[in-house]
Structure 1
Amino acid sequence: MNDYLLDNQQAEAGERFGSLAELFDPGTFRHFETIGVTSGWRCWEVGAGGLSVPRWLAARTSHVLATDIDVSWLRAEAPIEVREHDVARDEPPPGGFDLVHARLVLVHVAERERALRSMVAALRPGGWLVIEDADTALQPLACPEETGPAERLANKIRRSFRQLLAERGADLSFGRTLPRLLRSAGLTGVCADAYFPIASPACRALEAATIRQVRGGLVAAGLATEEEIETHLAALAGGALDLATAPMISAWGRRPVA
């Protein structure tokens, strides 16, 4: 995770967390409701980033542990406990959890299998694991309808961003593997779905914050020029681009009771 392209130290991280919450929190919370999150549960939010998911869980359960390798954007709010933790390298927190959730975490972690084992090991018998990760290779375009130069530039920059991610160890086809991985980990009742928004203002806000955050890397690698980035950011600000995100694959399964 030392090579993580979208680290929490930059100001754009907060903007990205807000956009991601707007786009994907409703689906995440729907999955939580499906599995029956309720009072008395102990929950572990892995790679929390911001507080939107921990706060939703805290309003409905008895204890929420929010962890990340960088807790800059987190703060403790009873019953939320905040802890610095690397899911791929550190031992899982003790005590057992009724729910373990990670969104957009494993896709960026080199030691994905170890991290997944750690999360499964943290489940109580009957506990649920919910993993949500992007699959950029399933839908790689920023603008699925490429109608003009602004859309072509957006797609070029998205391809360049994907290249940077891959060079940093991200698995751009990881999301589709989640159902199989959860079954292989011994979980039962495994289900999955996928969602990606198009033409939402939050898509444009997420893209703008992301490109500002990685522009130095894009330029240094010769993948985009400063002029191209400024042109793309201006198009985003103009609001005319029908932008899309990569599909978010959500998979959930339960640790057997016996």
Structure 2
Amino acid sequence: MTDDRGYLLDNRRTEAGTRFEAISELCDPWTFRHLDELGAGPGMRCWEVGAGGPSVPAWLGARAGEQGRVLATDIDVSWTRPAAGGPVEVRRHDLVEDAPPAETFDLVHARLVLVHLAERERALRTLVDALRPGGALLIEDADPALQPLACPDERGPEERLANKVRNGFRELLAGRGADLAYGRTLPRLLREAGLADVRADAFFPVTSPACGVLEAATIRQLRDQLIAAGHATGEEVDRLLDAVDAGRLDITIAPLISAWGRKP
């Protein structure tokens, strides 16, 4: 998702493609399992919100088949566009500013979207309203405050530097309106929105090569902001990137909270 008004990780940067690929490698199996259990299948009508890369809409399109429909939306659809075709329509759409789709859906999914929005309460209401009776909503968002470290095993200077820079990244996110404790609130918010049979769980990889790829791409994308805000020097950023690229660090990501429920 790209938002000129506040979203920190601008999808127009070249690092965005690397970030999407790493997120896909890490999170897609987790996301697909939830979507499968919620009934993703032939003939379904699905809205993929803030799609970013093409992997989730393409998977949903393959499940929906020619009798189904997948609407994949984002403010910037340049990375989503390869998924278009068959049952998948890719459309530019601002969840906060634009009118919602006129249709309703059997399944609505948003991953790593609402946490970044200042008007996340109104955005969540839009997603709930887009459900047909019996339709399922799956929201997946990070909770960086639940586990704030890049390297939980802080055994040496490189790990301490990684955690220092990750803390700076969190401060930059918060400064743009992100709610760093949003993920844990999702079950309550879905219940308060009127959904039934609400459940939630969390994905937390301790370490993975894809975690390192994602961390390095994020640091490269935000290098200037991190330095300008005093969170790291240029030499520290270079030293950290060298350690990450060389695979010397066990890097993790913030827990991804998945919460879901059905519209009565």
* TM-score, normalised with respect to structure 1: 0.98
What is the CA distance between 1:170 and its match in structure 2? Answer: 0.5
1:139 and 1:246 in contact (8 A); partners too: yes
- Alignment-derived partner of residue 244 in structure 1: 252
Cα deviation digits, residues 48-72 of structure 1 (max 9, x gap): 0011000110001111110001111
The 2-side partners of 1:145 and 1:153 are apart by: 12
Q: 1:16 aligns with which of 10, 15, 19?
A: 19
Give every structure 1 segment of 4 or more consecutive aligned residues whose post-TM-superposition deviation is greater than 6 Å: none
1:15 and 1:209 in contact (8 A); partners too: yes
Q: 1:71 aligns with which of 70, 73, 77?
A: 77
The 1-side partners of 2:241 and 2:206 are apart by: 18
What is the CA distance between 1:89 and its match in structure 2? Answer: 2.0
| Residue 101, structure 1, aligned to residue 109, structure 2 | yes
| Residue 127, structure 1, aligned to residue 154, structure 2 | no
1:89 and 1:115 in contact (8 A); partners too: no
Cα deviation digits, residues 173-219 of structure 1 (max 9, x gap): 00000000000000001000011112200000000000000111111
What is the CA distance between 1:240 and its match in structure 2? Answer: 1.5
| Residue 37, structure 1, aligned to residue 40, structure 2 | yes
Identity level (%)? 67
Cα deviation digits, residues 132-158 of structure 1 (max 9, x gap): 000000000000000001000000000
| Residue 182, structure 1, aligned to residue 190, structure 2 | yes
The 2-side partners of 1:106 and 1:35 are apart by: 20
- Alignment-derived partner of residue 220 in structure 1: 228
Moved more, 164-173 or 29-38: 29-38
Q: 1:141 aligns with which of 144, 149, 166?
A: 149
| Residue 48, structure 1, aligned to residue 32, structure 2 | no
Moved more, 80-89 or 224-233: 80-89
Cα deviation digits, residues 212-241 of structure 1 (max 9, x gap): 001111111111111000000000011020
Aligned length: 256
1:69 and 1:84 in contact (8 A); partners too: yes
Q: 2:123 aligns with which of 115, 137, 140?
A: 115
- Alignment-derived partner of residue 208 in structure 1: 216
- Alignment-derived partner of residue 164 in structure 1: 172
The 2-side partners of 1:133 and 1:9 are apart by: 21
The 2-side partners of 1:77 and 1:150 are apart by: 46
The 1-side partners of 2:91 and 2:39 are apart by: 25
- Alignment-derived partner of residue 82 in structure 1: 90
Secondary structure in structure 2 of the residue aligned to 1:81? strand
What is the CA distance between 1:34 and its match in structure 2? Answer: 1.3
- Quote the RMSD (CA, aligned, Å): 0.7
The 2-side partners of 1:164 and 1:50 are apart by: 23
Secondary structure in structure 1 of the residue aligned to 2:138? strand
